[in-house]
Structure 1
C-alpha cells in the first residue's frame, strides 16, 4: 500500500514537471530572440537578466546563459549569478510540494545571484584570470530554434494547424495525446493528485489542457526534437526514478531508522553534503533534500544551500567548451553557498 502511494506521488510529480517543462520550453522558444536582445547591455543588466533566466524553472534559462556566455555576451560574474539562481528541474518539484516556500527560495536565489555576480567579477579581475578562453562558438541544439519553428509558433492560433496535424497524425503525437489525456482523466477523478476539488486540482487540469493544446498545435519538428527527444527521453524518466527513490528513501528512513534524530544530530554535515552533491551537473540527487524538507526533516538553510550550489543540467553544455570555466564557476558557487547557507543555519533558519 505504501509503495502504491509512493508510486502515485512520484507519477504526479513527474507529470507535473513534464507539463511545466513543456510550457516553459514553448514560451521560451517563442520569445527566444527578444530575450537574447534584452540581455545585451550594461553590467548590472547582464546580472539581472542572467539571474532572471536562471530563476525560471528547468534548465532552459541556464542553457541560454551558457550560450550567451560562450558568445561573450555576458561576463563571468553574470553566469555565476545565473547558475546560483538556477534550481534545475527540481524547481518544478518544489512548486508541487511547497509552492509558497519555493517562490520565496527562487526570490532569495535571484537576489543572491545578483550580489554574487558582482563579487565574482571583481574577484576574477583581481585574480587576473581570463575566462572562457576556449569558447569560440556556441551551439545548443535544444535551446536555439530555427526561424521556421519560431514562425510556426508565432502562428499557433491558426485553426488550419489543427487540421494539418490531425490529417497526418503521427504515432508520436497520438501517443503523447493519449498520455496527457489519460493523466487529465486520472486527475479529474482524483485517482492521482488531490482527492478533493481544490485549487491544486484545478491548476493541474488547466496545465494539462494547456499541454494538450501545445501537443496538438506544434509542428512535427518541435514535437520530436523538443518534446519527445529532449523533455521525455532526457528528463522525464530520470525525474520519475529520482522522485520515487527519494520518496522511498524518506519513507524507509522514517519507518525503519531514526532518520530524523540522525539528521538533527548532524545538521552541519547534512548541509555540507547537500552543497557537495550540488557540484554534480545532474538533476536528481538534490531531490532527496527537497523531499526531506517537505517532510520537515531539514531546515530551510539546508534546502537553500543545496539549491544554491546545484544547477541541474545547466552546466553540461559549458563542460564541452571549457572545463576550466566550469570548475571555476562551481568553485565560486560552492564557497558562496557554504558561506551564506552556514550563516542561515547559525541564525536558526
Structure 2
C-alpha cells in the first residue's frame, strides 16, 4: 500500500515544485476521466446490465461460438471509444475468446479519435470503421490459424491461489461502498460533458461567468482523483485486486452488484489511463517534443510514422494524428495506417493483465497498417 500512496505524493510534490507541470497534471487527469473513464463506465454498464437483466452471459456466448468471436470482436472494436475493445481484451485474458479475437479488436479499434472523425467527416469515419472491421477480421483469422487460440495467454491460477484470493477479497473495507454514490454523482454529468469534449468542444463555456473557474475540468479532475484513491484503497486490503471482468475468481463469495463491478473495473482502467496520459503529457512538456513536427518530413514516410505513433498507448497521440488529417497536414493514407495500428486505451488493461500478449498483438497490427497505409498512399489521389 505504501508504494501506491507514493504515487499521488510524488505527483503532488512535482506539481508544487513545477507549477506548470501541476497545471498539466490537473488538465491531464481531467482529460483521462472525461475522455476515457466515462465511456468505459457507460459501456460496462450496458454490458453488465444487459447480462443481469436478460440473464445473458456474453462470455459464455463467445466461448460457445468460436467461429463468431473474431468478427464480433472486430465489430466491438470498431465502435467509437475503447469500451468494447477493453471488454474483448479482458475476455481474452480469462480464456473466453482466442488470440484471433484479440488481434481483431485491437486492429479495428480507433479509440476516442473515432468521435472526432465522426463529428467532422462522418463518411470518412464510416469508411475507416468498415476498413478496420474487415482488416481486423481477416488478420484475426489468419493469426489464430497460425498461432492457435491460446497463443501468449497466461496460465490460470492454481486452486490454492484462487481460494486465497477469495478469502482476501472478503476483507475489503466496507467504507469504500460509502463512496459509490459520490462516484456515480460525478460520473453521470461526466457522461453528458464527455460527448461534446470528444467532438473537440469545450463545455466549460456553457457556464457563462463561471466558465473562468473551468467547472467541467474540475469535475473531471475530482473524478479521476477519486478513482485513483478508491483503487489504492482496494489494493490496501487485497494486493491481488485487478479487473473483475478478467479475474472472476477475484470476486467475493457473494456475487457483486452491477454497479460495484462497473465502479471497480472503471477505476482499474482509469488508473492505467491516468498514468499513461501523465507520462505522455509530462514527457512532452519536459522534453519539448512536438508530435506534429514528426510528420514534417518527406511525404512517403507519413504512413510509416502514423503507424509508429499508433503503437503509443492511449488515445491522445491518435487524436493528434486525426486532427492533423482533418487540418490537411497529412494524407488519408496516414489516417488509415494510424487507425489500424493504434489500440487506443484498450492497450492499458492488456498490458496490465497480459503484457506479453499485448506487445505481440500490437506489433502484429502494424503489419496490416503499413500494407493498407501504403496501398492507399499509392492508389488514392
> TM-score band (shorter)?
0.5 to 0.7
Say if 2:70 is the partner of 1:47: yes
In 2, Cα distance between the equivalents of 1:313 and 1:180? 17
- Please report how far the alpha carbon of residue 289 of structure 1 lies from its aligned counterpart in structure 2 after TM superposition: 0.7
Q: Map residues 172-211 of structure 1 onto 2, 5 A cutoff.
A: 172-174=183-185
Distance 1:135 1:97, change over 3 A: farther
In 2, Cα distance between the equivalents of 1:169 and 1:65? 26
- Please report how far the alpha carbon of residue 342 of structure 1 lies from its aligned counterpart in structure 2 after TM superposition: 1.0
What SS does the aligned partner of 1:40 have? helix
Higher deviation after alignment, 312-321 or 84-93: 312-321
Say if 2:99 is the partner of 1:99: no
Give the match for residue 360 of structure 2: 328
Give the match for residue 89 of structure 2: 66
In 2, Cα distance between the equivalents of 1:92 and 1:30? 24
TM-score by length of 2: 0.56
Q: Which runs of 5+ in 1 are unaligned?
A: 1-10, 138-167, 185-189, 196-217, 247-251
1:30 to 49, 62, 69: 49
Q: Which runs of 5+ in 2 are unaligned?
A: 1-29, 158-178, 196-200, 207-256, 285-289
Distance 1:237 1:120, change over 3 A: closer
- Please report how far the alpha carbon of residue 286 of structure 1 lies from its aligned counterpart in structure 2 after TM superposition: 0.9
Contact 2:307 2:342 in 1 (8 A): yes
Give the match for residue 275 of structure 1: 307
In 2, Cα distance between the equivalents of 1:298 and 1:66? 31
In 1, Cα distance between the equivalents of 2:94 and 2:312? 24
Partner deviation per Cα, 1:169-198 (whole Å, 9 max, x = no partner): 9555555567778999xxxxx985999xxx
Contact 1:275 1:310 in 2 (8 A): yes
2:156 to 133, 136, 146: 136
CA RMSD of aligned residues (A): 4.6
Aligned residues between the structures: 273
Say if 2:136 is the partner of 1:113: yes
- Please report how far the alpha carbon of residue 304 of structure 1 lies from its aligned counterpart in structure 2 after TM superposition: 1.2
- Please report how far the alpha carbon of residue 275 of structure 1 lies from its aligned counterpart in structure 2 after TM superposition: 0.8
Distance 1:294 1:193, change over 3 A: farther
Partner deviation per Cα, 1:62-116 (whole Å, 9 max, x = no partner): 2222222233332222211121011223223333333332222111101111111
Contact 2:325 2:335 in 1 (8 A): yes
- Please report how far the alpha carbon of residue 307 of structure 1 lies from its aligned counterpart in structure 2 after TM superposition: 1.1
Give the match for residue 56 of structure 1: 79
Contact 1:17 1:93 in 2 (8 A): no
Contact 1:89 1:312 in 2 (8 A): yes
TM-score by length of 1: 0.60
Distance 1:93 1:111, change over 3 A: same
Give the match for residue 157 of structure 1: none
Contact 1:62 1:86 in 2 (8 A): yes
Say if 2:367 is the partner of 1:347: no
In 1, Cα distance between the equivalents of 2:260 and 2:42? 17
- Please report how far the alpha carbon of residue 118 of structure 1 lies from its aligned counterpart in structure 2 after TM superposition: 1.7
Contact 2:341 2:362 in 1 (8 A): yes
1:284 to 284, 299, 316: 316
Distance 1:170 1:120, change over 3 A: closer
Higher deviation after alignment, 305-314 or 168-177: 168-177
Contact 2:41 2:263 in 1 (8 A): no
